[in-house]
A = this chain, B = another copy of it.
Amino acid sequence: MNIILNRKVETGMIKENNKAIQDDYPDDFAWCYGCGRLNDEGIHVKTYWEDDLTISYIQPDKKYTALPGFVYGGFLASFIDCHGTGSASLALHRKNGHKPGDGVEPPRFVTASLHVDYLMPTPQGVQLKAIGQVEEIHPKKFKVMIQVFASDLHVANAEVVAVVMPKSFLKS
C-alpha cells in the first residue's frame, strides 16, 4: 500500500480549541463501540483536523492484548475504522463549509472497506496516533490513507473507504 503524507506530523496532543467530529455526531450515531460518546463501554476514538490531515489519538486499555506486551490487531483495526469514517466526515463537512463545533450536524459515514498492513508488533503502554489523508473518489465516497504510530514507531499502514450512510442503516 502506497501512502503519501504531505508532511511529518509531530507526536503530541490535540490543540486545546480543536473539536472532534464525533462530538458533533447526532445521538443516533453516538453509540458506536469505536467512537460513540454515548457507548460507555466503547473506546471513544476522536478525530480532529490538523491543517489538511486528520488525527486521532488513543491509549489502548491493557485488555486489548495480542500477546503480553503487545496491542491486539483487532483493536488497531477498530481504531483505524473509526479514524477513517471520522476523517471522511470531517472532509465532507469542510467541503460543505463547516467545521466541528460550529453547530451544524456533520455527515455520517459507514465503512465500505478496510485494509490494514501490520508493519511490526505494537507495544502496549504507549499512546497510538492515526494520521489520515482524505481523497474524494465520488461525492458520497471518500478514501482515507492512514498511518498509525505507537509513540515514534510506525506500526501500521491502512486504507479505509467510507461512504455516506445509506438509509438502510436507520431503523426509522
Q: How many angstroms from the CA of A107 to the CA of B15 in the assembled complex? A: 46
Residue ID in chain B nearest A170 by CB atoms: B67
Number of identical protomers: 2
User: In this assembly, does A41 line the interface, its C-beta being within 8 Å of a C-beta of chain B?
Assistant: yes
Collect the chain B residues with CB atoms within 8 Å of residue A63's CB.
Answer: 33, 39, 41-42
Q: How many angstroms from the CA of A82 to the CA of B73 in the assembled complex? A: 9
Cβ contacts A52-73/B at 8 Å (1 or 0 each): 0000000000011111111011
Q: A77 and B69: CB pair below 8 A? A: no
Q: How far in angstroms is the closest Cβ of chain B from A143?
A: 14
Collect the chain B residues with CB atoms within 8 Å of residue A79's CB.
Answer: 74
Residue ID in chain B nearest A70 by CB atoms: B169
Collect the chain B residues with CB atoms within 8 Å of residue A118's CB.
Answer: 110-114
Q: How many angstroms from the CA of A146 to the CA of B31 in the assembled complex? A: 28
Interface residue SS majority, chain A: mixed
Q: How many angstroms from the CA of A116 to the CA of B84 in the assembled complex? A: 14
Q: A68 and B171: CB pair below 8 A? A: yes
User: In this assembly, does A24 line the interface, its C-beta being within 8 Å of a C-beta of chain B?
Assistant: no
Collect the chain B residues with CB atoms within 8 Å of residue A74's CB.
Answer: 33-34, 74, 77-79, 81-82
Please, could you name 8 A-B residue pairs with CB atoms under 8 Å apart, sorted by A? A29-B67, A31-B65, A33-B72, A34-B72, A41-B63, A67-B170, A70-B169, A121-B169
Residues of A at the B interface (CB closer than 8 Å) are 28-29, 31-34, 36, 39, 41-42, 63-70, 72-75, 77-79, 81-82, 110-118, 120-121, 168-171
